[in-house]
Copies of this chain bind each other. A is one copy, B any other.
Amino acid sequence: MRVTIAEVARRARVSKTTVSRVLNNKGDVDAATAIRVREVIAATGYTPSAGAVGLARGRTQTVGMLVPGLTWPWMGDVLQGVSDVLEARGYGLLLHTVNRGEQSLTQFQRHVSANAFDGLLLVEPPDTLSYITSLHEGGLPVVMIDDRGHHPGFPSVATSNDKGAADAAAHLLTLGRTRLAMVTGPAAFGCTRDRTAGFHGAAANAFDPALTAEGDFTRDGGQAAIEELLAKNVEFDGVFAHNDLMAVGVLDGLRAAGRTVPDDVAVIGFDDISIAEHTQPALTTVRQPSREMGEAAATMLLAHLAGETPPEEPLVVPTSLVIRESAPAV
């Protein structure tokens, strides 16, 4: 019993063409006619069928989004940013997860081939960069939310990993700390390289590369890393962890070893996930602007769909230092 454009046309005593015109404000329509059509539309509650419009126009007004999984703490923020922008612009959001590996990708591929969306937003699932690149080269508008420092060959949104890490180092120096340690992410990640370089550069002599341990971005990995550092028996009074989850492990490891934070050792994390303000002591951290990155990526993709040429360089949304108790203000 769905009302169609034909029904509206019949009731308004005009052609479907005319109804379509007033619907899309395209071409001139006699004022009185337009009013009559609008009245019928209002009275019937008519809404054009998304599927039919999409088929006729060759555009779905829908954007696909591909993410590795939904359980990372900051993923919800990214999604929220994306969702807000798309919704405000009348676009739908078709969400895809790569939680089941190959199978997931096959399903996703099917949706791509089926032209189910006009453009793609993504946070890169493991080992899919070349696949995504091929989609982009095949003509699909793509914008990547680059949390790994990949600097891909297509439009992307990133954050200031280097600057954020430098800010962390600078803050530790301000606190008078002179022997700084670092717990990094996996060496293969671009963001690990960027954060390491930024920290190293700003900390200068206060940082001894020997006081570096590689973690895996998990809490347990962070704890293991700090234990490794403590076992070296080299003094340090400040630690920068490449993400908050590891920083939580660092905090626990330090406590277990009898060190007080921040008195003995100041600790700074990266991300500002919701846990950060609830640790003991509350964690000072470099805030990653997840939501803003989502908004920026969606905005960029829509501009691309509207015909604008996307920027060559990654769009960088800056980090900001959030000062809490684990590395307090001076």
Assess whether A23 is interfacial by the CB under 8 Å rule. Answer: no
A167-225, CB < 8 A from B: 219
Assess whether A14 is interfacial by the CB under 8 Å rule. Answer: no
Range class of the A interface residue count: 35 or more
Assess whether A13 is interfacial by the CB under 8 Å rule. Answer: no
| Min distance, Cβ A111 to any Cβ of chain B, angstroms | 6
| Min distance, Cβ A72 to any Cβ of chain B, angstroms | 8
> Which chain B residues lie closer than 8 Å to A73 at the CB level?
73, 274
Assess whether A42 is interfacial by the CB under 8 Å rule. Answer: no
Contact A70-B83, Cβ < 8 Å, known A45-B113, A94-B94: yes
Please state the number of chain copies in the assembly.
2
In contact, A115 and B77 (Cβ under 8 angstroms): no
Convert A95-121 into 0s and 1s, putting 1 for each residue whose CB lies closer than 8 angstroms to a CB of B. 111011001100100110111100000
In contact, A115 and B49 (Cβ under 8 angstroms): yes
In contact, B48 and A114 (Cβ under 8 angstroms): yes
With A53-B114, A55-B55, A71-B76 known, 16 other A-B pairs at CB within 8 A are A48-B114, A49-B55, A50-B114, A51-B115, A52-B55, A70-B79, A71-B77, A76-B76, A80-B97, A80-B99, A87-B97, A87-B104, A87-B107, A93-B96, A94-B94, A219-B278
Q: Which 6 A-B pairs have the closest CB atoms?
A: A47-B113, A50-B114, A70-B76, A70-B80, A50-B116, A51-B54
20 contacts between A and B (CB under 8 A): A45-B113, A48-B114, A49-B55, A50-B114, A51-B55, A52-B55, A70-B79, A73-B73, A83-B96, A84-B99, A87-B96, A87-B99, A87-B107, A90-B107, A92-B116, A94-B94, A248-B278, A252-B278, A274-B275, A275-B278
